[in-house]
Amino acid sequence: MSSKTKKFTPVQQEYQELAKKHEPKRPVLINCVKAFLVGGTICIVGQAVQEMFVHLAGFDEKKASNPTVAVMIFISVVLTCFGIYDKLAQWAGAGSAVPVTGFANTMSSAAIEHRSEGLVLGVGGKMFKISGPVIVFGVVAAFVVGILHLIFNPGATGGGH
């Protein structure tokens, strides 16, 4: 940060201080509480769906997670299509962005938005516009963690699950 400010002239620096003074602060604490409530609620719904698959459809706990995620994604896509998810997100912040529903929202919103540019270049090409980095860096992170795992705990690999 300090190396960045050095590039500015004294007049610019003085102005930036003035501008900073007028910048309303993000209500971090309230945002955290809202995120906790909404994120928690989404997770409770997810848990309820999972329990449903376990108790009503005879899945075991592990196998129930896949259809649960699918249901949550479906709910998120429907809410996105009806223009509700973005309004929820303005209130909820990270609470609606972090769960899998947020990820579904990034993809479906981009797909809807770029539909007018065609199925291939529009929907296909731009669907990952926002979620793409998450996948890229998720894979990179998994790779690094995998390597570390191999170095520090070689005995645990190779056995498979």
Q: Are the C-beta atoms of 34 and 91 separated by less than 8 Å? A: yes
Q: Which is nearer to another protein, 61 or 117 (CB)?
A: 117
Q: From residue 95, give the alpha-carbon distance in Å to each of 42, 103, 133.
A: 8, 12, 20
Residue 89 found at the interface with another protein (CB under 8 A):
yes
Residue 110 within binding range of another protein, rule CB under 8 A: yes
Phi-psi region of 136 (alpha: psi -120 to 50; beta: other; left: phi over 0): alpha
Which CB sits closer to another protein, 53 or 114? 114
Pick the piece of the chain touching another protein (CB under 8 A) from 51-59, 65-73, 85-93, 133-141.
85-93
The least distance separating another protein from the CB of residue 116, rounded to whole angstroms, comes to 4
* Separation of alpha carbons 67 and 72, rounded Å: 9
CA distances from residue 86 to 57, 67, 148 in whole angstroms, order as listed? 32, 24, 38
Q: Site residues (CB under 8 A) for another protein? A: 8, 11-13, 15-16, 18-19, 22-26, 31, 80-81, 83, 85-86, 88-90, 92-94, 96-97, 102, 105-106, 108-110, 112-114, 116, 129-130
